[in-house]
């Protein structure tokens, strides 16, 4: 599915809507260039998930945890040098745990990701504020989410 967002406000609305649909165990992968809007949309997804804290980029921490209506694990694997470092983080407890995982730069750790997941590629448009989201759902659960997003 392809969705065009004209500006920040539309990104925020979309993020909140998606956040409301997410459930325990969901894996959401975000890809796109530096400054594409991965962290920005995560903030809104967090609002949709009931996170009241301010979500910041986990670039240095690799992972930040938040309490929404369910736990939210926000990854940014940009600085990961080897996918094996994920073992030190205990990543599988998050991926196969009781919360929602949102992973920036997920394409860098593709082979470590659960097969079932939602993948969103964010591309900048012609204007500074325009974005296009390319959304793919792998697995039954995510096909449902995508249907509800339409
Ligand atoms: N429609 C939009 N959607 C998302 N971000 C937008 C939009 N319009 C403008 N922006 C701006 O683009 C920037 C996106 O930065 P952001 O940190 O979210 O990107 P990122 O993909 O997380 O980058 P990085 O790879 O460095 O983590 C922000 O400054 C945001 O305000
Ligand atoms: Mg970011």
Phi and psi torsions of 87, nearest 5°? -65, -40
3-state SS class at 87: helix
Q: How far apart are CA 39 and CA 60, in angstroms?
A: 13
Check residue 52 and report its DSSP letter. Answer: -
Distance from the alpha carbon of residue 42 to the mean position of ligand 1, in angstroms: 10
Atom 24, ligand 1: which residue's CA is nearest?
34
| Helix ranges, the chain (H) | 8-21, 38-48, 85-89, 91-95, 140-149
- Residue 43 near ligand 1, beta carbon < 6 Å: no
Distance CA 17, CA 69 (A): 15
Residue in 106, 105, 22 with CA at minimum distance from that of residue 68: 22
Please give the mean pLDDT across all residues of the chain. 96
To test the pocket of ligand 1, the residue of 31, 37, 46, 74 to mutate (highest count of ligand atoms within 8 Å of its CB) is: 37
Which ligand places an atom closest to the C-alpha of 78?
1
Question: Which of 36, 41, 125 has most ligand 1 atoms within 8 Å of its beta carbon, as the pocket-test mutant?
Answer: 36
Q: Vertex 18, ends 14 and 24: CA angle to 5°? A: 165
Residue 150 has pLDDT above 90, yes or no: no
| Whether the predicted pLDDT of 124 surpasses 90 | yes
Over residues 110-132, mean pLDDT: 96
Check if the beta carbon of residue 123 is closer than 8 Å to that of residue 97.
no
| 33-47, 77-91, 115-129: least confident range | 77-91
pTM for this entry: 0.97
Q: How confident is the model at residue 62 (pLDDT cuts 50, 70, 90)?
A: very high
Q: What is the DSSP letter of 97?
A: S
């Amino acid at each position: 599915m392809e969705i065009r967002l004209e500006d920040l406000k539309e990104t925020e609305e979309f993020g909140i809507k998606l956040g409301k649909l997410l459930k325990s165990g969901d894996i959401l992968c975000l890809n796109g260039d530096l400054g594409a809007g991965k962290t920005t949309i995560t903030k809104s997804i967090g609002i949709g998930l009931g996170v009241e804290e301010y979500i910041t980029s986990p670039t240095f921490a690799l992972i930040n945890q938040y309490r929404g209506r369910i736990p939210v694990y926000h990854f940014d694997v940009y600085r990961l040098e080897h996918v094996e470092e994920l073992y030190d983080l205990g990543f599988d407890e998050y991926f196969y745990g009781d919360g929602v995982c949102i992973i920036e730069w997920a394409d860098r750790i593709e082979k470590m990701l659960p097969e079932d997941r939602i993948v969103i590629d964010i591309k900048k448009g012609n204007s500074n504020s325009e974005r296009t989201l390319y959304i793919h759902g792998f697995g039954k659960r995510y096909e449902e989410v995508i249907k509800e997003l339409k």
